[in-house]
Amino acid sequence: MDRHDSRAASEPRPSPPSPARILIVDDEPGIREVLSALLRRDGYDTRSAESGEQGLSAFAEFKPDLVLTDLQMPGIDGLDLLGRVKAAAAREQRTVAVIVITAHGTVDTAVRAMREGAFDYVTKPFLNDELRAKIGRALEVAKLSADNVRLRSALGERYQLDRFVGQSSRMQEVYQLIRQIRGTRINCLICGESGTGKELVAQAIHYGSDRKGGPLISVNCGAIPESLFESELFGYKKGAFTGAQRDKVGLFEAASGGTLFLDEVGELPLSAQVKVLRALAERRVTPVGASAELAIDVRIVAATNRNLNDEVKAGRFREDLYYRLNVVQIDLPPLRDRREDIPDLVRHFIGRFAAEFRKPVSGLTPEGLSILSRWRWPGNVRELQNVMERAVALADGPLITPAALPGRIQEEDLAPSAEEKDASDLEMKAGIDLEARLMETERRYLRAALKITAGNRTHAAKQLGITFRSLRYRLIKLGMASEEDLGRE
């Protein structure tokens, strides 16, 4: 070998920035070819894999900056691959962006993929420019995200009440109560429908107390089989029963010095209620098979979405335990009873998911907000959070439109909103334009009927109990359709 050459090779050269590496995973050879040709032309270094399995080994060896994967593949599918790639990257402390390719009409899977950490998705058939733009942005963000992770952990535990959004008077009362009791070790019972923020309250109490250095142990009382309660809550000694091969620390002991959060406490079977009551009263527990009691120092916060008072009356919940848990009761109002909090919550969730999905979504249209303000929110804040997550994922502009909101919540259009229900005295004094009001109402019903019949005017007319001719006449009068639009029918 020529000496001169070998020296030249070992000389440090100004290295051009190395091209970003992209791994393409798709079971269709045609798509793989098109994509790698396109991306190579753009100067990327690419590798292709024809299955999730191959994709995983290529990921380990090729160390791509970005993975572009089809969602539907036999064997390890795109969602699986996404999870595994993300986990592997986390283990190796490197970042990888994943963009998923979905077939048309499977947007919900795409949303799920984004929830599980995909950066973005493209729908087949895709436009090259759209794909290029998404890849460019993903790579840029991946570069920044390493810094981001560091920053987030540096911020540490935030002041817990800061995590609540909503300034309604009902919530102000809740915050006030939390402030009053968090410094004490008073037991408290948090009541509220599903998704109203009970767990958030439990955390605010624990982290706002001087027990915050101790553990916060959550136990879902509805999830423990009746036969296991005692050993789960109080622990056991080695040899206490067959299978007890070593000592097990119970949850009461594990929470010592901190807070034990008994979630869904209404689900505790009666047999377990007796034992919990004794533990609370005596501040001691006896692990199964132990000869001595253990002193425990825990604060109990319990939560329920049932009405425990009714449970007591029905004989399903012990009254003495109820009073012991319920020294202070915090009632979380359902979201429909504090609709004034909806705009703040919406803004909060848009900000959060826009950042999480790195999408430039900044708000929603007035029509969108009005739909959200009317819905009855049976799943409360959690439901709103899910709706906003989906909406941000689906938004294709800076403002979320009704199209990105689930159909079920739009049907509420038919019900008059709270404001409309009471045409208040005040309003009457100011004088109203009845004709305009009636037209507005008419328009709302026509729109709703057309929506639920997917725009079929014959069906919509039937739905409204009017003739097709009458519907035609009204649509034109209200400016919702023109003669030409309708002429064709």
Q: Interface with ligand ATP includes 196 (CB under 6 A)?
A: yes
Rule CB under 6 A: which of 288-317 touch ligand ATP? Answer: 305
Q: Residue 329 carries which DSSP code?
A: E
User: x-or-dash pattern for ligand ATP, window 29-48, by CB under 6 A?
Assistant: --------------------
Bridge partners (DSSP) listed for residue 217: 260
Query: Can you read off the two tokens belonging to residue 251?
Result: 């949850």
In the complex, the smallest distance separating the C-beta of residue 264 from Mg ion, rounded to whole angstroms, is 8
Specify the stretch interacting with ligand ATP by CB under 6 A; choose among 107-115, 147-155, 191-199, 242-250.
191-199
Are 240 and 288 in contact by the 8 Å Cβ rule? The answer is yes
Please, is 482 exposed, middle or buried when counting C-beta atoms within 10 Å of its C-beta (0-12, 13-18, 19+)?
exposed
Q: Interface with Mg ion includes 199 (CB under 5 A)?
A: yes
Query: Closer CB to ligand ATP, residue 382 or residue 443?
Result: 382
Q: Interface with Mg ion includes 45 (CB under 5 A)?
A: no
Among 194, 373, 453, 463, binds ligand ATP (CB under 6 A): 194
Among 64, 195, 333, 334, binds ligand ATP (CB under 6 A): 195
Among 197, 266, 287, 368, binds ligand ATP (CB under 6 A): 197
Pick what 103 binds: Mg ion, ligand ATP, none; C-beta below 5 to 8 Å, kind-dependent.
none
Query: Closer CB to ligand ATP, residue 48 or residue 305?
Result: 305
Bridge partners (DSSP) listed for residue 259: 216, 299
Instruction: Tell me how long the chain is.
Output: 489
Pick what 235 binds: ligand ATP, Mg ion, none; C-beta below 5 to 8 Å, kind-dependent.
none
Q: How far apart are CA 234 and CA 252, in angstroms?
A: 6
Q: Interface with ligand ATP includes 381 (CB under 6 A)?
A: yes
Specify the stretch interacting with ligand ATP by CB under 6 A; choose among 164-172, 269-277, 366-374, 478-486.
164-172
- SS3 at position 251: helix
In sequence order, the 6+-apart residues with CB closer than 8 A to the CB of 399 are 361, 362, 363, 364, 365, 368
Residue nearest to Mg ion (CB): 199
Query: Closer CB to ligand ATP, residue 109 or residue 196?
Result: 196
Bridge partners (DSSP) listed for residue 66: 22, 97
In the complex, the smallest distance separating the C-beta of residue 392 from ligand ATP, rounded to whole angstroms, is 15
Q: How far apart are CA 446 and CA 449, in angstroms?
A: 5
Query: Closer CB to Mg ion, residue 198 or residue 472?
Result: 198
Query: Can you read off the two tokens belonging to residue 36?
Result: 């790698």
Query: Can you read off the two tokens belonging to residue 171?
Result: 């919530």
Q: How far apart are CA 455 and CA 463, in angstroms?
A: 12
Q: How far apart are CA 138 and CA 254, in angstroms?
A: 43
Using CB under 5 A, count the residues that bind Mg ion: 2
Residues that bind Mg ion (CB under 5 A): 198-199
